[in-house]
Amino acid sequence: MTRRFLFRQAANLALTVNAVRPVPGMTASLPVFFAGWLTSELAPQLLAATALDASVHVARRGLGDRSDRLGVAAAGASAIGLAAMTVSARRAGTEVEDALTEGLGPDYREVADLPGRTAEALPLRKLAMPFHVRRPDVVRHRNLAYAEGGKRFAVDIFHHRDMPSNAPLLLEIHGGGWVTSNKDHQALPLMVEMASRGWVCASINYPLSPKAKWPDQPIAVKRAITWFKEHAGEYGGTPEFLAITGGSAGGHLAALAALTPNDPSVQPGFESADTSVQACVPMYAPTDMANETGLKSVRLRSESFLMPMVFGKGAKFPDDYLVASPYAKVRADAPPFFVVHGSNDSLVPVPESRAFVEHLRSVSRNPVAYAELKGAQHAFDVFASLRSIEVLNGVTRFLEWSRVHARSTERVAVGS
């Protein structure tokens, strides 16, 4: 019993240390991510569990031998780290608000008729059920087909139970390194939240590598955009405003779609379709596929086993990778962007987003907001946590602002 307690707390401490300071390097990135992601986003729950475990053990057995004392010491060290992560996650609201104020302007809330900033209570109910994302006022239509080809071309539609009218659209693209995952497990909190606010939301699958080869993925995204605009009216939406978002590989595809409107090279057979979008929110996304930034992390990714699976073994670096690189596609008429990335990301290190934002800001005429979240790992937004709730609220404000911005820009264009 005593040794089991010590082993539990030693493992807990190792997870905490990894979450606070992830082990660097490409080789260990996947296990480091999984362990750090869950620990950092569930820090309040783990803190409570650690305190309870240690308290019960001491009450039952005291501190009679060395294993007891070492276990309690490990629990104490873990508690300090978990408490620090909890405080850091709570600060995400300030980080996001500062990013939006800097990127959109100090009056962005007034422009979008959003309520002023107020101190919000701790979301205890969501933290108690972090994986529960259903809402009674949201309807979900599952596995509709946006193109021929089976389940990899399926889309789920979310809308308010009271059918909206002329609602804005939001399209979500899941992550998974272009080789795994699906629409059923990512960004559900955002889909449900925006649908409850009267938006019509779509979450799509797309062809996965190695079976699919580039540009199958961006072509599928363009088909999904086209289908969504054509069928939006059936669910109360309007094609006049469409925002696009995604995390990781999905964020890459979202950014690429936003920067390649109506590009015939990724619209074979539907070249005349309008695939433009009015706002983009890429989360922890790889944006430099050809290593134009010269970053070591990008070079290591380009040399990894993953890239030949996505682009094919015959693809030449960097020439064949440029067409897939949002960094290479930045343009003056890019829509407003809100880029979000965690400082502790093991899979896509944060310097890549910093470089992308700097480059996009130097070219685009539209606002570019950037939130760097201290202590956040990859995929921090998959379920409800202190941090993800704050980010979701910020993304909601950005999307509402973008809708107003698009209308005002259109009026100016018509007037001129």
The band of 64, judged by pLDDT with boundaries at 50, 70 and 90, is: confident
* Confidence band for 121, pLDDT divided at 50, 70 and 90: low
**Is 345 among the residues known to form the active site?**
yes
Residue 373, phi then psi, degrees to nearest 5 = -95, 115
Tell me: pLDDT of 411 over 90. no
Instruction: Report whether pLDDT(196) > 90.
Output: yes
pLDDT value of residue 342: 98
pLDDT at 412 over 90: no
Q: What confidence tens digit (pLDDT) does each residue in 222-242 have?
A: 999 999 999 999 999 999 999
Statement: residue 198 has pLDDT above 90: yes
In this model, does residue 140 exceed pLDDT 60? yes
Active site residue 359: no
- Name, in order, each residue with C-beta under 8 angstroms of 10's C-beta and a sequence gap of 6 or more: 71, 74
Helix, strand, coil abundance in the chain, percent, nearest 5: 50, 15, 35
Q: What is the predicted pLDDT for the residue at 111?
A: 92
Longest dimension (CA), the chain: 82
Tokens linked to 18: 């990894």
pLDDT tens-digit series, residues 386-402: 999 999 999 999 999 99
pLDDT digits (tens, 9 = 90+) for 351-368: 999 999 999 999 999 999
Query: Pairing mode, if any, of strands 200-204 and 167-173?
Result: parallel
Q: What is the pLDDT of residue 27?
A: 56
> CA-CA distance, 386 to 280, in Å (whole number)?
23
CATH of domain 93-415: 3.40.50.1820
Catalytically annotated residue among 57, 252, 378, 405:
378
Question: Which residue carries 């009216």 as its tokens?
Answer: 233
Query: What are the phi and psi torsion angles at 312 (to 5°)?
Result: 95, 150
Give the pLDDT score at 231: 98
pLDDT at 3 over 90: no
> What does pLDDT average to over the chain?
94
Instruction: Single out the catalytic residue among 29, 40, 88, 248.
Output: 248
With a cut of 90, say whether residue 2 has pLDDT above it. Answer: no
Whole-angstrom Cα distance, residue 386 to residue 318? 40
Tell me which of 216, 345, 388, 402 is the catalytic residue.
345
pLDDT above 90: percentage of residues in the chain: 85
Active site residue 378: yes
Side by side, the strands of the sheet bearing 138-145 are: 138-145, 154-160, 200-204, 167-173, 237-247, 279-283, 337-342, 368-373
Look at residue 29 and tell me whether its pLDDT is greater than 80.
no
The span from the CA of 196 to the CA of 186, in Å, is: 17
